[in-house]
Amino acid sequence: MSTFITRVITLTTGTTETVTDLTQVCTDFLTETASGIDGLLNLFVPHATAGLAVLETGAGSDTDLLTALHHLLPADDRWQHRHGSPGHGRDHVLPALVPPHATVPVIGGRLELGTWQSICLVDTNKDNPERQVRLSFLG
């Protein structure tokens, strides 16, 4: 018998570019829904201007990611997509580099992340402070 449970969470990311650690939210979701079960946790962001990344946080890597994105996707007037804040077109290219989905193994109801890995929402869109993330457990 397989288990499928899904939930949508809403986050306020504010009006600055952010990398938001979702690892504890994922852990709490699995504690409620997947106690002792093996499977997969899938995360999906239903937005055209945000993505999900698995990376180290707290040691500067989150800031380094935003800096790298500034170099790759400058917030200037080169973009064809021109509504919103200046340079907003870059936000619509972001999901091609930081995908809107991530899947992580779950063993015994626990995320199987590496020692320094966290699951993070990457949001460079200053015009949309509300974000949703769908968490889905398949076990």
pTM of the shown model: 0.94
pLDDT tens string 25-64: 999 999 999 999 999 999 999 999 999 999 999 899 999 9
- Based on DSSP, count helices (H) and strands (E) in the chain, helices before strands: 3, 8
Of 16-25, 63-72, 79-88, 94-103, the range with the lowest mean pLDDT is 79-88
Q: What is the DSSP string of 14-61?
A: TTS-EEEE-HHHHHHHHHHH-TT--EEEEEE---TTEEEEEE--SSSH
Structural domains of the chain ordered from first start = 4-138 (2.60.120.460)
